[in-house]
Chain A
Amino acid sequence: MRSGVSIPAAVNMAGVGFRKVVRALTKSKGSGFSALLSGCRAASGPAKGSLPGPFPQTPEERAAAAKKYNMRVEDYEPYPDKGEGYGDYPKLPDRSQHERDPWYKWDHPDLRRNWGEPMHWDFDMYIRNRVDTSPTVVPWSSMCKQLFGFIGFMLFMFYLGEKFPAYQPVAPKQYPFNNLHLEKGGDPEKEPEDVKNFEI
């Protein structure tokens, strides 16, 4: 495509007229260059109110946000507005995907999620390969006792092993020929000193 603009469109552009261009420039509602040309916007990309926005202040904004996220108005609860960057994103219960029904026909079975369902802010943490919040098999006290009991026992035993070492008897290496008198560069004429490596 050489110019990207066909002949009728070029004629149309010329026909739009100077006044319309000025009006569009002064209005400049943010639709960009396409508004200058023909006053309509592209259909690609997200719809106008469908992306997350700022924290909802009025009840109408809350209702609109609940509808946007496919939730009931009573269920919708945004994160408290503490400037932490959440905006109007809903605060869903901190439940892992492990807890969801394994036998229901989810749209995405590995994620145990349906299409269009609002996702938890930490959804990627709560997938089935990662954090699991389902009920524990044994109580917390039992788990603590087992873990710290084992670690404490092992630490204690290693401490005892450091304190009272137990290994095969060892001695410094003994060399023959009067402690290698000649090999170490000793005088062949001189009498080597008698080295006895035993005790009687």
Chain B
Amino acid sequence: MVTAITNAIFDEISPALIRQTNMADYKEAPLATRPRTLDPNDYFNLSPEKRRADEERAAVRSNLKRQYLTQLNNPHRNALIDDPALNRWVYARANPYPHFRPTFKTSLFGFMFGVAPLFALYYVFKTDRDRKEKQIQAGTSDRRFCHSS
């Protein structure tokens, strides 16, 4: 009896208190992803092509797993297991120069990060220090508690 009443009251109040968003209204944060339960791909995209693609990916994955576990469980192994994917990643990150081409965008980046700061910072520091020096010479700056600037 009491439980029925409390349930009835709760059912009355709860939709007003709890603001729920459904799948269509959910907006993910910029650069973040959707939860898997709200991903429409999981519900609507169930074609055989997708299944075949998933199976092919699983086959590649199992093959790599087999190679790794064979090396891992080899009792005669006395060296590290080389990961060619890791080597490729390191090599790619360390050697972008052969694939660099000066385009408008890359030249702009080079200019903004390499050339402009030099001149901008020189100008900023020089004007600030000249202003300070002029104040010190004129005697207007309060340097009672400051030795170094």
Residues of A within 8 A of B (CB): 46, 50-52, 54-55, 68-72, 74-75, 82-87, 89, 94-95, 99, 107, 114-119, 121, 123, 133-136, 139-140, 143
CA distance A12 to B100 in the complex (A): 45
A50 touches B88 (CB 8 A): yes
CA distance A115 to B80 in the complex (A): 13
How far does the Cβ of A115 sit from chain B's closest Cβ, in whole Å?
4
CA distance A99 to B28 in the complex (A): 14
Closest A residue to B49 by CB, please name it: A74
B60 touches A115 (CB 8 A): no
- With a cutoff of 8 Å between Cβ atoms, the chain A residues found around residue B147 in the complex are none
A114 touches B29 (CB 8 A): no
Over the window 15-32 of chain B, the binary record of Cβ atoms lying under 8 Å from chain A Cβ atoms (1 yes, 0 no) is 000000000000111111
- With a cutoff of 8 Å between Cβ atoms, the chain A residues found around residue B103 in the complex are 82-83
Over the window 89-113 of chain B, the binary record of Cβ atoms lying under 8 Å from chain A Cβ atoms (1 yes, 0 no) is 1011101111111110110000000
Over the window 34-61 of chain B, the binary record of Cβ atoms lying under 8 Å from chain A Cβ atoms (1 yes, 0 no) is 1100000000000000000100110011
- With a cutoff of 8 Å between Cβ atoms, the chain B residues found around residue A133 in the complex are 31-33
Number of A-B contacts (CB under 8 A): 112
Q: A72-B53, A136-B29 are in contact. Are A116 and B64 (CB under 8 A)?
A: yes
CA distance A136 to B35 in the complex (A): 9
B33 touches A115 (CB 8 A): no
- With a cutoff of 8 Å between Cβ atoms, the chain B residues found around residue A87 in the complex are 92, 96, 98-99
Chain B interface, DSSP helix/strand/loop, else mixed: helix
Name the residue in A71, A115, A117 with the highest tally of chain B Cβ atoms < 10 Å from its Cβ: A115
Extra pairs beyond A75-B57, A83-B102, A116-B83 (12, CB < 8 Å): A52-B88, A71-B60, A74-B53, A75-B53, A83-B101, A115-B64, A115-B67, A119-B88, A121-B89, A121-B93, A134-B32, A136-B32
Chain A interface, DSSP helix/strand/loop, else mixed: loop
Q: Does B118 contact A (CB under 8 A)?
A: no
- With a cutoff of 8 Å between Cβ atoms, the chain B residues found around residue A69 in the complex are 85, 88
CA distance A6 to B83 in the complex (A): 35
- With a cutoff of 8 Å between Cβ atoms, the chain A residues found around residue B68 in the complex are 107, 114-116
Q: A51-B88, A69-B88, A72-B57 are in contact. Are A140 and B81 (CB under 8 A)?
A: no
Residues of B within 8 A of A (CB): 27-35, 53, 56-57, 60-61, 64-65, 67-68, 81, 83-89, 91-93, 95-103, 105-106
CA distance A141 to B64 in the complex (A): 43
Q: A46-B84, A50-B84, A72-B60 are in contact. Are A121 and B92 (CB under 8 A)?
A: yes
- With a cutoff of 8 Å between Cβ atoms, the chain B residues found around residue A75 in the complex are 53, 57
A117 touches B64 (CB 8 A): yes
7 CB contacts below 8 A, A to B, read A50-B88, A52-B91, A54-B99, A75-B53, A84-B100, A86-B92, A119-B89
Q: Within the complex, which residue of A82, A136, A143 is in contact with B28, where a contact is CB–CB below 8 Å? A: A136
Closest A residue to B107 by CB, please name it: A83
CA distance A52 to B84 in the complex (A): 11
Q: Within the complex, which residue of B29, B57, B64, B65 is in contact with A140, where a contact is CB–CB below 8 Å? A: B29
Name the residue in A68, A72, A83, A95 with the highest tally of chain B Cβ atoms < 10 Å from its Cβ: A83
CA distance A117 to B68 in the complex (A): 11
- With a cutoff of 8 Å between Cβ atoms, the chain B residues found around residue A51 in the complex are 87-88, 91
